[in-house]
Structure formats: structure tokens, C-alpha cells
Amino acid sequence: QAQLVESGGGLVQPGGSLRLSCAVSGSIFSTRAMGWYRQAPGKQRESVATIFAGGTTNYAAPVKGRFTISRDNTKNTVYLQMNSLKLEDTGVYYCNALFNLLPWGQGTQVTVSS
């Protein structure tokens, strides 16, 4: 069964950086489009960034220019480099496939606070 394990979250001051990782097991990874999603307190889960199998990336407007999604197909892992973090980036971050969703992982908490 497919499993997604996110890590790398934490508490950071505004303007700081974090790098999230998501390890994918039990499922074909290299041909899947993958994405990072986040859920802020009291809000619905939203897409943050996506990366297709060929490497094409897309970003939500609020994070464009600050976040970078990447993948390592040899490690079945997708990453999210987050720079210039803002208070509004606070939330639980999840990864998943862009199509044919896999069972959601536990996510990783990102808290941006001064």
C-alpha cells in the first residue's frame, strides 16, 4: 500500500527558510505528477506547488518566487524549499499525487511566527 511520509517542518521566524521532504513508498513514483498542499488553521487544504514527471513545475500565486518544488526519482522523494517565509505560510503541509490521490500522510507542521 502506498505511503507518504512528510518531514522537515518546524517553527521559523518570518523571512526564514525550511526544506520539506516527502518520501513515497509502495507506489510508482517516477511517472507520477506530485504536489505539495497545505492546510492553514480553519481553512481548506490548498495546492501550493506541483511537479510533473518531466520536471515541469507550477506554483500557487502566494508562493511563487519564494518556494521551489523538486524531486529525486532515485529516492522516491519530493522536496519543497521554502524561502522568505511569511506568517500566512503557517499550516500543515502534505504531499500527494496530482492525479489519482494516494492515502494522505500525517503532514508536517510549519509555523511562521516572530
| DSSP string covering 38-103 | EE-TTS--EEEEEE-TTS-EEE-GGGTTTEEEEEETTTTEEEEEE-S--GGG-EEEEEEESSSPPP
Q: Give per-residue pLDDT as tens, 66-108.
A: 999 999 999 999 999 999 999 999 999 999 999 988 999 999 9
Q: Give per-residue pLDDT as tens, 22-71.
A: 999 888 888 899 999 999 989 999 999 999 999 999 999 999 999 999 99
